């Protein structure tokens, strides 16, 4: 167990970091909906630094807690993973805090969906405002369902050792080991959901990184071909 723990310390940090990032993203969306004009006036870089603080603090908490609560017996474990690579008290604290974080995320997206539905009352169906509202509600709903079926489900699964102590330890360890599968599916859920549900998000992504460079060159080439063809036809 001790060998496994030292090996997975980076994973423990980033796992907690991304769990808190779910809360930060939900809170960011909520802030932009309740205070849109104030949100637009926020300076981007200081804001990005500020929202990293809770993620970093939550990320550091679990490795430190696990380090100071290492199992003195240092048993041989079934597999090297976060539920089995830390002592019982450390694992329970990690599980409980992540369940609290998961409930917070579900509540945040629920509030976003309800707020947007209330905001859309009295609006005509085909207006831009109504379409935008429907898009936000759909995104929040899909994110909540996806999150509940992935990260939240994996944390509940890890809790079985406490909820059902009569289950054989081998069965519990197997369940906790394979609970990483739904958790992995959640790691990039925000990107995939927004990419599918939001045209603005897709356009913003196309302008970023190597994909943005490729898209820019492709667009430039298309424009050149279009201009050349137009000029040829004019002549």
Whether this prediction's pTM lies above 0.75 is answered by: no
Where residue 56 falls among pLDDT bands split at 50, 70, 90?
very high
- Compute the average pLDDT of residues 141-147: 76
- Compute the average pLDDT of residues 162-167: 72
SS3 72: coil
Question: Which of 177, 142, 138, 141 has the alpha carbon at shortest distance from 157?
Answer: 177
SS3 19: helix
Structure confidence at residue 61 (pLDDT): 92
Q: State the average pLDDT for the chain.
A: 77
* Residue % of the chain over a pLDDT of 70: 77
- Compute the average pLDDT of residues 116-141: 67
Structure confidence at residue 161 (pLDDT): 63
- Specify whether the CB–CB gap between 101 and 50 falls below 8 A: no
Per-residue pLDDT reduced to its tens digit, 9-24 = 998 999 899 889 889 9
């Amino acid at each position: 167990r001790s060998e496994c723990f030292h090996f997975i310390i980076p994973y423990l940090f980033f796992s907690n970091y991304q769990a808190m990032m779910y809360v930060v993203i939900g809170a960011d969306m909520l802030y932009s909906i309740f205070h849109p004009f104030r949100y637009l006036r926020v300076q981007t870089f200081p804001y990005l630094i500020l929202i990293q603080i809770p993620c970093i603090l939550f990320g550091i908490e679990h490795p430190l807690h696990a380090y100071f609560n290492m199992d003195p017996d240092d048993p041989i474990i079934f597999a090297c993973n976060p539920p089995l690579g830390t002592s019982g008290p450390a694992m329970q604290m990690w599980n409980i805090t992540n369940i609290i974080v998961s409930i917070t995320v579900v509540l945040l997206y629920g509030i976003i969906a309800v707020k947007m539905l209330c905001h859309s009352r009295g609006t005509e169906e085909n207006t831009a405002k109504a379409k935008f509202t429907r898009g936000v509600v759909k995104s929040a709903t899909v994110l909540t369902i996806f999150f509940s079926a992935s990260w939240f489900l994996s944390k509940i699964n890890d809790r079985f050792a406490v909820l059902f102590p009569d289950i054989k330890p081998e069965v519990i360890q197997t369940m906790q080991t394979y609970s990483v599968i739904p958790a992995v599916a959640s790691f990039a859920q925000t990107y995939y959901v927004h990419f599918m549900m939001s045209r603005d998000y897709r356009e913003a992504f196309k302008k970023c990184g190597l994909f943005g460079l490729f898209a820019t060159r492709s667009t430039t080439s298309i424009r050149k071909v279009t201009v050349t063809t137009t000029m040829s036809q004019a002549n």
